[in-house]
Structure 1
Amino acid sequence: MIIENSQAAKTVLNESSSRTLLARGGSLMMVEVTFAKGGIGEIHSHDAHEQISYIVKGSFEVKVGEETRILKAGDSFYAGYNIPHGVKALEDSVILDVFNPFREDFLEKQE
């Protein structure tokens, strides 16, 4: 699968964030999430998905399990099954999320 960003499915999540579905195949899915300063990815966990995230641009306050850190462009984190995690954008920021297996719920919510 080859995805050009101009053709990728984009979904507005709320007034401060949007999601772009990038490549997916096999059991993997890659998603770009853009946040305005102050945007929040609420604390949540996945019982059926692992997640690795990479900070592409900006900075976030990131909580994974009991640990909270400030991460900036180039940093990353892993949230395994049932591990609570969430982010708050400290400036306009972009995060790249990779899920295993892919998020069928994201496919259902496309615009």
Structure 2
Amino acid sequence: MGETTDTAGEWVTVDAQTRRRILAHTPEMMVVEVEFQPGGVGAEHSHPHLQSSYVKSGTFTYTIAGKTQTLTEGDGVVVPANARHSAETATGGSLIDVFTPAREDFLPA
């Protein structure tokens, strides 16, 4: 197994209402905190990684493969690999996302 980062990485601005930081990773798995301001949107997208999302704070409307659900603090969801998905929050809040394998596109250059 590859080396694991021991401390959280630097915050990376995704857009005006969203930022993320890598909390830990190996080549096999990555843990990322994503922080949203009120009205923040994670636009619909897909990727080949299996993903789980845990709501650390706030309330999110999460859509996975056309099915929408409301998630609040303490809730979690699994996003299958390649599934189209999005998230938005009126309240603002934070998600803890876990990806397997790691999102190499999130690693610093």
Same fold (TM over 0.5): yes
Output the TM-score relative to the length of structure 2: 0.90
Please list the CA deviations of residues 67-95 of structure 1 after superposition, one character each: whole Å capped at 9, or x if unmatched.
10111000111111111111001212000
C-alpha separation between the residues in 2 aligned to 1:101 and 1:26?
A: 6
Counterpart AA for 2:100: N
Runs of 5+ unmatched residues, structure 2: none
Q: How does 1:21-40 map to 2 (within 5 A)?
A: 21-40=22-41
Matched, 1:14 2:15: yes
Q: Secondary structure at 1:105's aligned position in 2?
A: helix
Q: Secondary structure at 1:58's aligned position in 2?
A: strand
C-alpha separation between the residues in 1 aligned to 2:94 and 2:71?
A: 12
Q: Secondary structure at 1:70's aligned position in 2?
A: strand
Q: If each structure's helix is expressed as a fraction of its own residues, which one has the higher value?
A: 1
C-alpha separation between the residues in 1 aligned to 2:11 and 2:27?
A: 21
C-alpha separation between the residues in 1 aligned to 2:6 and 2:93?
A: 22
Counterpart AA for 1:4: T
Please list the CA deviations of residues 33-82 of structure 1 after superposition, one character each: whole Å capped at 9, or x if unmatched.
00001100001111x21100000000101101121011100011111111
Counterpart AA for 1:3: D
Whether the aligned pair in 1 keeps the contact of 2:5 and 2:25 (CA below 8 Å) is no
C-alpha separation between the residues in 1 aligned to 2:98 and 2:77?
A: 11
CA drift of 1:19 comes to 0.4
CA drift of 1:2 comes to 5.2
Runs of 5+ unmatched residues, structure 1: none
Alignment partner, residue 4 of structure 1: 7
Alignment partner, residue 92 of structure 1: 92
What count of residue pairs does the alignment treat as equivalent?
106
Counterpart AA for 1:92: G
Q: How does 1:22-61 map to 2 (within 5 A)?
A: 22-46=23-47, 48-61=48-61
